[in-house]
């Protein structure tokens, strides 16, 4: 009897159709541009440092040739990962849309398209800044509400990270102005003393002023010197350990200004709605042909942070002190199996040393991200529901579509 039961179970198992392996159907990638020069001119940065800042080979805020090379390495590696979507060099399956506001995003889109093996022209909006990437200009949060939301998080963040915050700003101050002391800065408004003052404020519009605002820009600029491959970043006074120590100042400020739910929603709603439309093959602001299998949105670190904030995603990058470093790509992979469509969210990045060397990548570094209610494999409907729930509905009013 037992043998008969086993035989029947085996026959039943053989009769069940095998569950087909999931198939990658479409990918939507939101990517930060490549390594750029500081967005502020040297004259604006000079008051914060003892010595003159390093000269850059391009105008403020532009993608450098080194940055383009490092970005192309990421593009080549992603091209290998998603080769089946562009099989036989089918560039009709690729669509690249770049922020029109800056040379660094337009050129980054072009570099990525070429690295993916497609010379097709990159597209971008004409006229004013594309609201997909600059949602705060079209639909800012109410000032007092923005101020309150950031102020609460600022207090909690500094309370939870006091030692790391103090160590970071003292290390940054030693790089910028070696030998300067608290005594030297007593009652001084000199910008060289800014990091020793420990003053932080939240303006009515929710933007920071004071230590974190200044330190965010200054630490990022020193990181960019390193990523650019400069011979002596930070005037030769900055070690790799120092770089890792100071970058939390940038990440804290970014978290407050871009990840705070209210600000993330108002800044990111239009972009989130566009990503939802691309994942569901529906129309929103940009006309993407239905046959497209790989969509690349060439934007900024602000855009990455906004979408992460809306979805409740957080990460740190091993061997990369900037959580949204140049070339970092947030990929929404749409897979399909017998159960239907589901999404896997991946984060691809390069280490700081890979950016600095612009070396070829066998594969980019990768993090597999999870949503709180569905883990790493989320039904498409769950992801779109999360995006919709996080959107600021007032930003989707008809006026936002013009």
CATH number at residue 222: 3.40.50.1240
Q: pLDDT per residue over 145-187, tens digit each?
A: 999 999 999 999 999 999 999 999 999 999 999 998 888 887 7
For residues 136 and 152, membership in a common domain is answered with no
For residues 38 and 155, membership in a common domain is answered with no
Q: Which of 284, 214, 279 is nearest to 253 (CA)?
A: 214
Q: Which two tokens stand for residue 321?
A: 């002190």
pLDDT at residue number 4: 46
For residues 245 and 174, membership in a common domain is answered with yes
Q: How many domains does the chain have?
A: 2
For residues 168 and 305, membership in a common domain is answered with no
- 225 — pLDDT class (breaks 50, 70, 90): very high
pLDDT at residue number 184: 83
Does residue 15 lie within any of the structural domains? no
Does residue 165 lie within any of the structural domains? yes
Q: Which residues contact 5 (CB under 8 A, 6 or more apart)?
A: none
Give the Cα-Cα-Cα angle 163, 315, 202 (nearest 5 degrees): 55
**Can you say how many angstroms the Cα of residue 392 is from the centroid of all Cα atoms in its chain?**
20
Q: Which residues contact 274 (CB under 8 A, 6 or more apart)?
A: 132, 284, 285, 286, 297
pLDDT at residue number 356: 98
Mean pLDDT (the chain, rounded): 92
For residues 266 and 370, membership in a common domain is answered with yes
Q: Which residues contact 208 (CB under 8 A, 6 or more apart)?
A: 150, 154, 200, 201, 202, 216, 253, 256, 257
pLDDT at residue number 10: 52
Is the confidence at residue 14, as pLDDT, over 80? no
What DSSP character marks residue 392?
Answer: -
Range(s) of the domain holding residue 362: 23-142+260-401
Is the confidence at residue 15, as pLDDT, over 90? no
pLDDT at residue number 401: 47
Residue 25: phi and psi, rounded to 5, are -105, -40
Q: Which residues of 194-213 are buried (b: 16+ CB within 10 A; e: fewer)?
A: bbbbeebebeeebbbebbbb
pLDDT at residue number 398: 58
Q: Which two tokens stand for residue 248?
A: 């939390």
pLDDT at residue number 16: 45
Does residue 7 lie within any of the structural domains? no
Of 227, 258, 289, the last residue of a domain is 258
Helix, strand, coil share (%) of the chain residues, nearest 5: 50, 15, 35
pLDDT at residue number 166: 95
Does residue 5 lie within any of the structural domains? no
**Looking at the whole model, is its pTM more than 0.75?**
yes
For residues 83 and 110, membership in a common domain is answered with yes
Of 258, 286, 307, the last residue of a domain is 258
Overall average pLDDT of the 140-148 stretch: 94
Q: pLDDT per residue over 194-221, tens digit each?
A: 888 889 999 988 999 999 999 999 999 9
- 3 — pLDDT class (breaks 50, 70, 90): low
For residues 132 and 273, membership in a common domain is answered with yes
- 54 — pLDDT class (breaks 50, 70, 90): very high
For residues 136 and 149, membership in a common domain is answered with no
For residues 191 and 242, membership in a common domain is answered with yes
Of 258, 275, 298, the last residue of a domain is 258
Q: Quick one: what percent of the chain has pLDDT higher than 70?
A: 94
For residues 103 and 190, membership in a common domain is answered with no
Does residue 10 lie within any of the structural domains? no
Q: pLDDT per residue over 278-302, tens digit each?
A: 999 999 999 999 999 999 999 999 9
Q: Quick one: what percent of the chain has pLDDT higher than 90?
A: 83
Does residue 132 lie within any of the structural domains? yes
pLDDT at residue number 188: 82
- 318 — pLDDT class (breaks 50, 70, 90): very high
For residues 277 and 316, membership in a common domain is answered with yes
Does residue 1 lie within any of the structural domains? no
Least confident among 66-70, 88-92, 210-214:
88-92
Does residue 6 lie within any of the structural domains? no
Do residues 188 and 228 make contact, with C-beta atoms less than 8 angstroms apart?
no
For residues 341 and 387, membership in a common domain is answered with yes
């Amino acid at each position: 009897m037992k043998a008969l039961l086993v035989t029947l179970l085996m026959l039943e198992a053989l009769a069940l159709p095998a569950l087909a392996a999931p198939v990658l159907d479409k990918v939507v990638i939101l990517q930060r541009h490549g390594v750029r020069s500081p967005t502020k001119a040297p004259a604006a940065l000079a008051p914060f440092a003892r010595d003159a800042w390093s000269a850059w080979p391009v105008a403020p805020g532009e993608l450098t040739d080194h940055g383009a090379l490092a970005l192309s390495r990421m593009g080549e590696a992603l091209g290998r990962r998603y080769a089946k979507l562009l099989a036989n060099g089918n560039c009709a399956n690729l669509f690249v849309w770049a922020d029109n506001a800056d040379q660094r995003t337009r050129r980054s889109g072009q570099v990525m398209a070429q690295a993916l093996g497609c010379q097709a022209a990159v597209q971008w909006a004409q006229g004013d800044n594309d609201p997909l990437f600059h949602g705060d200009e079209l639909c800012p949060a109410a000032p007092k509400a923005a101020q309150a939301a950031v102020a609460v998080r600022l207090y909690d963040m500094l309370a939870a990270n006091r030692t790391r915050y103090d160590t970071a700003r003292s290390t940054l101050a030693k790089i910028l102005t070696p030998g300067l002391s608290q005594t030297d800065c007593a009652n001084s408004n000199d910008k060289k003393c800014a990091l020793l003052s420990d003053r932080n404020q939240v303006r009515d519009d929710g933007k920071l002023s004071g230590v974190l605002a200044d330190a965010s820009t200054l630490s990022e600029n020193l990181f960019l010197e390193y990523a650019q491959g400069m011979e002596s970043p930070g005037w030769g006074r900055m070690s790799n350990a120092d770089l890792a120590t100071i970058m939390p100042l940038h990440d804290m400020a970014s978290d407050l200004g871009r990840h705070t739910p209210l600000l993330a929603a108002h800044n990111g709603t239009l972009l989130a709605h566009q990503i939802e439309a691309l994942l569901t093959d529906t129309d929103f602001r940009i006309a993407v042909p239905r046959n497209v299998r790989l969509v690349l949105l060439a934007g900024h670190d602000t855009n990455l942070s906004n979408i992460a904030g809306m979805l409740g995603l957080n990460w740190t990058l091993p061997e990369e002190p900037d959580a949204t470093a140049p070339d970092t790509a947030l990929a929404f992979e749409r897979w399909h199996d017998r159960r239907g469509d589901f999404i896997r969210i991946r984060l691809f990045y390069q280490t700081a040393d890979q950016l600095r060397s612009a070396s070829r990548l066998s594969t980019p570094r990768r993090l597999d991200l999870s949503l709180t209610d569905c883990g790493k494999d989320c039904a498409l409907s769950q992801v779109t529901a999360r995006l919709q729930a996080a959107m600021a509905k007032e930003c989707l009013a008809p006026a936002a579509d013009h």
